[in-house]
Amino acid sequence: MKTIKLLILAFGVFAASNLLAQNSSKLSGKEFKVFINKSDMPSPETQVEDIITFTGSKASSQTCASRGMKAARFTEKLEGTQTKFQMTLTQSNGETWAFDGFMEDNHMGGTITVTRTGQAPETLIFRGMTTQLWDALQMRRESERTSQ
């Protein structure tokens, strides 16, 4: 009987710690509007808009999804005031987009290493903010424009 009680207690502690670990994610449940540029020539003319979404333990990119890549697991680590994260999205032909980024408050940024078979890796940069903040800024700009 004592052994059963100890097993139940151990299982309860394990389940609670697992639940706390899942809920401690700073990224899960957040969505970011980002702008991707070639790191050697960032400009509004060549940038690509993207939405990166973190759900549970997986993350997705609309740009990558349009290339046939599915959501992938991400890792995160709190370093000071920043949450550092990494994820790699893979296409069936072997192309990969490896994100190495950070989030601080409502902003994020980092690099993407794009690897294609038979080609040298390409490094891209991304910067952005939560879609909630982006939408609020756009509404404010529209309001200021119409009030003039």
Q: What is each CA distance from 96 to 15, 24, 53, 77, 130, in whole angstroms?
A: 34, 28, 18, 22, 24
pTM equals 0.78
Beta bridge partners of 59: 54, 72
pLDDT at 3: 64
Cβ-contact 74, 97 below 8 angstroms: no
The letter for the amino acid at 128 is G
Cβ-contact 48, 36 below 8 angstroms: yes
pLDDT at 133: 92
pLDDT (tens place) for every residue of the chain, 148 residues total: 666 654 465 455 455 444 444 458 999 999 999 999 986 666 777 889 999 999 999 999 999 999 999 999 999 999 999 999 999 999 999 999 999 999 999 999 999 999 999 999 999 999 999 999 999 988 988 888 888 7
Q: What is each CA distance from 52 to 4, 28, 86, 120, in whole angstroms?
A: 46, 11, 13, 25
